[in-house]
Amino acid sequence: MDQGVEDVRARLLALRAEAVERAAGLGAAKSDLVAASWGTNIDDEHDPEGQTIAFERAQVDALATDARLRLAEVDAALDRLAAGTYGTCAVGGEPIDPARLLARPTATTCVEHAQPPSTTRRRDR
């Protein structure tokens, strides 16, 4: 296999390992939060620490969701690499600039197609 492809695969696998580790760590953090609040007042509104604990749980949940989404992005990039479509824009089919892939290894589109449509206004006369 081409050295460039192997380098990309190694980078994606490293990103995958980071995402798995992050998701596992956040799962442990959530378990710790739940265990720490076990047996306390269930009513967050009237518990002096309830709002803080609820905020921390929500924050950990959001970060865990982000880690799972990152893992899915990396897995999809690895699938594209295996299929030979990695680095090809999913919208226009043109090659994605290597600098973009270096900055965002999971990118599915070229820069042009990643931008939202122009919001220029038409002047009515």
The per-residue pLDDT for 43 is: 55
Residue 25 is part of which domain span?
3-86
Residue 51: pLDDT over 80: no
In contact, 19 and 70? CB cutoff 8 Å? yes
Say yes or no: 22 and 79 in one domain.
yes
pLDDT digits (tens, 9 = 90+) for 20-48: 999 888 877 777 777 666 665 555 555 55
Domain count, the chain: 2
Say yes or no: 10 and 45 in one domain.
yes
DSSP 95: B
In contact, 26 and 62? CB cutoff 8 Å? no
Say yes or no: 68 and 79 in one domain.
yes
Q: Exposed/middle/buried for 11, CB within 10 Å: 0-12, 13-18, 19+? A: middle
Say yes or no: 58 and 27 in one domain.
yes
In contact, 60 and 31? CB cutoff 8 Å? no
pLDDT digits (tens, 9 = 90+) for 56-68: 888 888 998 899 9
Percent of the chain with pLDDT over 90: 53
Say yes or no: 19 and 65 in one domain.
yes
Say yes or no: 78 and 29 in one domain.
yes
pLDDT confidence of 118, banded at 50, 70, 90? Answer: low
